[in-house]
Structure 1
Amino acid sequence: MSGPKRTATRSEHALEDLDGAALSYAARFAGQPESRRRDLREELVQLALPFAGRLARRYRGRGEPLEDLEQVARLGLVKAVDRYDPERGSFTAYAAVTITGEIKRHFRDRTWGVHVPRRLQDLTIEVSQATAVLTSELSRSPTVAELAARLETSEEDILAALESAAGYTPASLNGPVGDDGPAELGDMFGALDADLESVDDRLTVSGLLYRLPARERRILAMRFYGNYTQSDIAAEFGISQMHVSRLLSRTLTWLRQAMLTDAPPRWESGGVGQGDTAETLTMSVERTAGKILVGVHGELDRDAAERVRVGLTEAVCTAGDDEVLVDLDGVGFIDAAGIAALLASHEAARRATVRLRFARAQPYVRRSLTVAGLSPLFG
């Protein structure tokens, strides 16, 4: 027993003969005035609207509202009607291609949150469809190799498509992180390192610092890393605050010059800047009854160390039974080379069985000599 017959609606009959309606439209369109042409065009568009709607519904569920897809499909339908040429074949086939292309263009140009090349966009859609099919067939998620074999492409392309899929709806930087608290995703990203641009300068300066004498390096460290005042530094070294200021000025001037040249200039202990009045080391020898008094005045650094060693050794060798007393009151600074010179004179005195003593050393110099083991010579 057959069931009740279904009565076809007028719109279904019209859609079945959409190609015939398009041919009739094209035949009547050529000889009509402009106002009549608009009416004929409107009639064909209205007749084909359900067809455009069916094509739009094929793409629902992909993140775009159906109403937007229908509007895009109708725009494609209007373009198909305006460009239709009966000599090129079926209107239905031409309209389907035009509408589908318009919808795909909409997805490509308007829905991606991040720009992705068209080839990867199309491949992303194919990968998504192939993933759904293979998941149903295999009862598990397909591997990259299985997707590549299914789509007949390379695994590298599949990986690029999977990575590009994240660009369709990227996460907002203002999105919340977790369920509690006001933190946003953007708060998780680190800020630009303001010191990054100065890395090259820091490396250059660190290399140049090793070219400076030990005293200048220590003064710079105390001033700019230890936050010592010039007065504090002067008390530490047993020199005047004005002398510390001159040393800092001379050192910073040399560093600036060295930073601006490929070959750093030679460090001159006597000064490299205008107005530098650092004293050159001087020695005086005075003989009295039973004693040779050697006065040293200036900075006992590597440039003056050899002169002091020679002078004290000569005094020891000519002392005979006399005592050699070295007055260090005028020495404001001594480095490793200067300490080595005093140790050499002490060794020469020991071999010659001559008594050698140091007197009136300033606090910084005395501490340095004590560390070097020369404290027994103070008297």
Structure 2
Amino acid sequence: MRQPVGPAEVRYSSRAEAPAAGALDADHADAAGGASAVGSESDSDVLDAADLDPFDPPEQRTGIDRATSRALLDLLARLDPDDPERAEARNRLTTLHLPLAEHLARRFAGRGEPYEDLVQVATIGLIKAIDRYDPGRGAEFSTYATPTILGEIKRWFRDKGWAIRVPRRLQELRLSISSATTDLLQQLGRSPTIAELAQATRTTEEEVLEALETAAAYSTVSLDSPEPGENAPSTIDTIGHDDEALEGVENRETLARLLAGLPERERRIIVLRFFRGMTQSQIAGEVGISQMHVSRLLSRTLIQLREGMFR
């Protein structure tokens, strides 16, 4: 993934471009070291309590200047969307809160994706949070931004995880069905029916079935992975390839059918020319027509056969 993070932003390729105040403290660095353990969480997991702890907000753990952040957010809310100062304030807020995006991206570092790509996606979520934040509601920005950033990262993983491109509404409905199935299983003491799942998710039975069918597209298998069993070949070794000899058989069978459908004279000219190797003059003497007539018939018949072969 190498797309810009926004129309007015630049991509930050390293921590060096963020403010000095953005360095993580020792406790945060230790916590980030365990990110691989978080990598196994499901897309439907709730936020970590630490991310929303009012006594230990992310600003303190990431060294963000809260006073500067509040001033810029207030300024952003007052400025007109077309005001050049607004774009500058937006960029400064993105830079200021980049450590928060990096902190949240690090939680997903054990899932096989480059860390800088995770930071890029987290930064997109950060920018969305900046654009949507309303200082008048009284919530701390980090408290508002954290679920927005995590949601952006999780949606990105969900999109990348599907072997076949499945509409996002079906992806999210499938997750809702999974959650509803667990709840109904506990309530009913049995597996829920399609109708019960549709009622729980406020959708139709057809939509539930469609979402359940997409489960087969949710994962991919490496072609280099071995088949089950000892000393088994890899998957790619069991995949067939084009057989030129078989293709030749198919072409001959098709040609034989087309030749059988030709008028007697045209079929005889083709046989004499290509199976007996006779010249057009020899064919003219054999058939009893002029060489020019043989040439015209031969050309027309070959066009007819070629069209039949590729039809």
Per the normalisation by structure 2, the TM-score is 0.45
Structure with a larger share of its residues in helix: 2
TM-score by length of 1: 0.39
Greater C-alpha Rg: 1
